[in-house]
Amino acid sequence: MPDQKAVRRVVDIITGTWQSQALYAAVAFGLADHVAAGCVTDEALAARTQASPDGIRRLMRLLTAMDVFEYTGENSADPAGSYRLTAAGELLRADSPRSMRDMVRIYGEEFHRAWGAVEPAVRTGTSGFQHAFGKTLHEYLRDPAAGAKFQRAMNAGNVFFSDVLEAFDFTGRRTVVDVAGGSGMLLGTILRAHPELRGILFDQPHMVPVARAHLDEAVGPDRYEARAGDVFEGVPGGADVYLLSRVLQDWDDRRCTTLLSHIRAALPASGRLLILERVIPDHGETLLPLLYDLHLLMAAGGRERDLAGYRSVLASAGLRLESVHALSLETSLLVAAVA
């Protein structure tokens, strides 16, 4: 007789991707937007999306069980039954300020396809994305539309940025450089909370207009500079705080050492480097960092590291790990100083 608990565990794992793809279907059909607009029955949703009524009914039944929607059920006041959004469903709306729809899209499209190449990726140690698309993720993101979609997806997962304000004391600091800072959301969060600070966002040329658009609105054009350049060739000087948010995870130790060495050369003795990454736990007691570790192999050929790994790459660049602070979504803030 097979162990029923073990059988159930295997079944739960192998059907996990079905839930993520059902969530992707909800975004692809715009179901959250349609429910918010008043299309609250299977028939209305099928008509609005031009989809099979039976397919929509079955999809909505699963999404309701997944707590993305609520269903009132038929009663005398509502004989047809109707749907409404849950808190999770609200995050799928296009007009939500914290919308995660682009994150769901990229995980349901590009990253889903990359994970389909998990066997050759693990066998060769090269990214599943490259096996699936014939190019690296970084090459793929040079396309403006793909790059913008990816940046919106990254922004949707940035709920831990505000935690940095509690974890690190910016008192007495003057200038913050966000290295490979993307759209500037982290820098904007810090500058809004600390009006005495100035910021420099440093990233590739195609990201500079995106960052300027966000930072102009978030803090105004007089509080920051947006500079274009290659982080592996150097970083701006003249600051006492440097930021690296989910950057080291994309690169091997050699490339990380190169980048960190540039920051070390620019960092004053009293300065600090703030690194936002997920840290691999010592005994596997938390799952999300382990999931993202393998996902980084699928997506970019990168990796998450344990604390020993971070200490090693920091030491190779003349830096030392000073402290570690827990943030939301099992992310950590690592504070590094000159060794």
Looking at residue 79, its pLDDT comes to 61
Looking at residue 3, its pLDDT comes to 86
Strands (E), 46-182: 69-71, 83-85, 175-179
Mean pLDDT of 105-117: 96
Looking at residue 267, its pLDDT comes to 97
Positive/negative CA dihedral, 11, 278, 91, 45? negative
pLDDT tens digits for range 8-65: 999 999 999 999 999 999 999 999 999 999 999 999 999 999 999 999 999 999 999 9
Pairing of strands 69-71, 83-85: antiparallel
pLDDT tens digits for range 271-284: 999 999 999 988 76
Looking at the chain, the whole-number percentage of residues with pLDDT higher than 90 is 85
Comparing 73-87, 140-154, 321-335, which segment has the lowest mean pLDDT?
Answer: 73-87
CA distance 187 to 243: 8
Q: Is 41 helix (H, G, I), strand (E, B) or coil?
A: coil
CA angle in degrees (0–180, nearest 5) for 94-99-103: 105
Looking at residue 158, its pLDDT comes to 81
pLDDT tens digits for range 166-224: 999 999 999 999 999 999 999 999 999 999 999 999 999 988 998 999 999 999 999 99
The model's confidence at residue 152, banded by pLDDT at 50, 70 and 90, is confident
Looking at residue 80, its pLDDT comes to 66
pLDDT tens digits for range 219-260: 999 999 999 999 999 999 999 999 999 999 999 999 999 999
The model's confidence at residue 81, banded by pLDDT at 50, 70 and 90, is confident
More confident residue, 148 or 176: 176
User: Across all residues in the chain, what is the average pLDDT?
Assistant: 93
Buried b (16+ CB within 10 A) or exposed e, 247-279: bbbbbeeeebbebbbbbbebbeeebbbbbbbbb
- Give me the DSSP letters along 80-113: T--EEE-HHHHTT-TT-TT--HHHHHHHHTHHHH
Phi, psi of 203 (to 5 degrees): -160, 180
Q: Is 130 helix (H, G, I), strand (E, B) or coil?
A: helix
Answer yes or no: is pLDDT of 75 > 90: no
